Amino acid sequence: MKFFILVNPGLEELAKQEIKESFNVVAKISDSVLEVDVDVDIEKLNQLQSARRVLISLGKGLEQISESGWEKHFSPEKSFKVEVENVKGNEKRLELARKVAGMIYSDLSFEPKLELKKPEMLVIVYFNGKDYFLGIDENVEELNSRKYRVFAHSASFKGDLSYYFVRKSGFKKGKQLLVGFCKDGTMAIEAALFSKEKIYAFDSTRQNVTAARKNSQLAGMKDLVDIQKYELDELDVRFSELEFDNLIIQVTTKDEERLNEIYYQANYILKKKGIMLLIGRPNWELSVSEKFKLLEESEIKKGESVHKLWLLEKK
């Protein structure tokens, strides 16, 4: 069966890698979309950590809408809604939605239930800047929102981006990872979902630690995610020297002045050649410690905001 995997910009290559690892197939990449032909249950595809939506393909290009074979996807009892994504202009979106809805009604031998507020499935028309992708989303909600993320932190990231940071840090199964300033715990939870192994995380506020623990329990990762209330300068007491292979820290503006302490603690707890990923604001002028080597500097978008990444290796 053919599927369209919709991802946020910048996650295409990671999604291709994850699909290859999970299903041993090579996906075709377009901007924000991966096309894959694979004989698996859609629920398994919905478990892809890099995906925003998984669509049952109905065709690529608006000219194929009339050839979509609606009958096998609809029933008189199941409600639906047409949703147009990434198309500028409300009138244009409404025009496309009406066109697709009209096709559905004219091609079916029964009248399907249109439900705008709480549909049981979505017909997605997605424009990636070059092509239109038409598909059925039976999940309705965006996958990257994560049902476990009930106690969300405003400065945290959704599941797909958190997973991106975990993989960007070079973390691999069988290695030891520490997530610093974990906020609502999403990054640590995504690491545990990926590795199925113990992940360590800390935050300096009780509120964040409590939220992160509750979220990890909802994700079914309570036994794999160890979240503690630690201060940054406690790490050399709480953990052993050379204990971790990877460290991820999201550095907010208020923590930028603590960079020297971050380097000190990272140098203590990371193994030789250990990797630290720092996530910060794009105009932060990061000074690299003489004890670390800068491997890569890059940026990733989160909606309208941009985050800068520094990948550093302990010498």
Q: What is the pLDDT of residue 65?
A: 62
Which residue has 């950590």 as its token pair? 49
Asked if residues 126 and 54 have their Cβ atoms less than 8 Å apart, the reply is no
Say whether both 204 and 245 belong to one domain. yes
Do residues 238 and 120 both lie within one domain? no
Task: Identify whether residues 130 and 258 lie together within a single domain.
Answer: no
Distance CA 30, CA 23 (A): 19
Residues 201, 97, single domain; the answer is no
pLDDT at 304: 83
| Domain containing residue 248: CATH number | 3.40.50.150
CA distance 71 to 87: 27
Domain boundary among 144, 171, 187: 144
Please indicate, yes or no, if residue 154 is contained in any of the structural domains.
no
% residues pLDDT > 70 (the chain): 98
CA-CA distance, 60 to 178, in Å (whole number)? 42
pLDDT digits (tens, 9 = 90+) for 26-53: 999 999 999 999 999 999 999 999 999 9
Tell me, yes or no, whether 104 and 170 share the same domain: no
Identify whether 75 is part of a domain: yes
Element (H, E) at 83: strand 79-85
Whether 203 maps to a domain, the answer reads yes
Kindly give, in sequence order, each residue whose CB lies less than 8 Å from that of residue 87, ignoring residues fewer than 6 positions away: 93, 96, 125, 127
The answer to whether residues 137 and 199 belong to one domain is no
The pLDDT confidence band at residue 71, using thresholds 50, 70 and 90, is confident
Average pLDDT over residues 272-290: 97
Phi, psi of 83 (to 5 degrees): -125, 130
Q: Which of 109, 144, 179 is the last residue of a domain?
A: 144
Confidence of residue 61 (pLDDT cuts 50, 70, 90): confident
C-alpha 310: how far from chain center:
19
Whole-number pLDDT of residue 72: 84
Burial class, 296, CB count within 10 angstroms (exposed 0-12 / middle 13-18 / buried 19+): exposed
Residue type, 136: I
Asked if residue 35 belongs to a domain, the reply is yes
What is the model's pLDDT at position 64?
62
Residue 67 pLDDT more than 90?
no
Cα–Cα distance measured from residue 224 to residue 103, given in angstroms and rounded to the nearest whole number: 48
- Give the angle 127-133-138 at the CA atoms, nearest 5°: 115
Same domain, 211 and 294: yes
Question: Taking all residues of the chain, what is their mean pLDDT, rounded to a whole number?
Answer: 95
Position 152 in a domain:
no
Clarify whether residues 164 and 310 are in a common domain: yes
Based on the domain organization, do 204 and 228 belong to the same domain? yes
Domain enclosing residue 116, as ranges: 2-144
Interval 169-187: pLDDT, tens: 999 999 999 999 999 999 9
**Number of domains observed in the structure of the chain:** 2
Q: What is the pLDDT of residue 109?
A: 87
**CATH assignment of the domain containing 78:** 3.30.2130.30
**Tokens 């999403």 found at:** 186
Same-domain pairing of 76 and 208: no
Kindly state whether residue 151 falls inside one of the protein's structural domains.
Answer: no
Instruction: Look at residue 309 and tell me if it is in a domain.
Output: yes
What SS3 state is found at 127?
strand
Residues 89, 169 share a domain: no
Examine the fold and report which residue of 94, 113, 144 is the final residue of a domain before the chain moves on.
144
Per-residue pLDDT band for 106 (boundaries 50, 70, 90) equals confident
Q: What is the pLDDT of residues 126-159, one digit of tens each?
A: 999 999 999 999 999 999 999 999 999 999 999 9
Assess if residue 200 is contained within a domain. Answer: yes
Q: Are residues 138 and 248 in the same domain?
A: no
% the chain with pLDDT above 90? 89
- The confidence score (pLDDT) of residue 22 equals 97
Q: Would you give the distance in Å from CA 117 to the centre of its chain?
A: 25
Residues contacting residue 288 through CB under 8 Å, at least 6 positions apart: 294, 310, 312
